[in-house]
Structure 1
């Protein structure tokens, strides 16, 4: 049975509150879980200590038994010093798209044409 340490959403509409739970990977997001091991309240300020609450002892127990944290939970565990999340960098995502590159080239071409026309007009006088 593959286990995940993941978020289960609670709270009302537009007021989210998440429980950090250990669940079977095949069960639905807000469905059956084995144990609640923490909570996350994104409505609180980022520097508030009650924003993320973790039961470190139980999380270590489940991770030792093969439970895999999801990416968001792994961020919380990394901040708490319970796990190591490798840094990621997507260099391709930072590059402009094909259309943006074409627009920049078109603007440069128009600027060069205007500069050439202005130089030609000033030399003709």
Structure 2
């Protein structure tokens, strides 16, 4: 089973907001999820990103693959850099 960190669309028609969720890669975009780890609102300026860092790092350590859009959100919030730093420090030991 492949687990992905991806966006689930919420909000009204023509006014999207998104939840950052962990889901099975085979489930539909707005289908069953495993865990909700944050949200993203592109409609405000600057766009609002709120991701639970500990949950995201835990899922990344367990092998969950972020989609391209979630990967860019994780980079913008600094979570991906922290994950890479922890990964390189454990491999150096």
TM-score of the pair, normalised by structure 1: 0.62
Listed one character per residue, the Cα deviations across residues 23-77 of structure 1 (whole Å, up to 9, x for unaligned) are 000000000000000101111111x6xx110100000000111100001110111
Higher strand content, 1 or 2? 2
Equivalent residue, structure 2, for 1:81:
78
Distance of 1:25 and 1:15 partners within structure 2: 25
Distance of 1:12 and 1:81 partners within structure 2: 29
Distance of 2:29 and 2:72 partners within structure 1: 19
How much is the aligned-residue C-alpha RMSD, in angstroms? 1.0
- Structure 2 gap segments, 5+ residues each: 82-93
Higher helix content, 1 or 2? 1
Report deviation, 1:15.
0.7
Higher relative contact order (CA 8 A, sep 6+): 2
1:8 and 2:5 are equivalent in the alignment:
no
Q: Give the number of equivalent residue pairs.
A: 81
Equivalent residue, structure 2, for 1:57:
54
Q: Contact 2:49–2:77 at 8 Å: present in 1 too?
A: no
TM-score of the pair, normalised by structure 2: 0.83
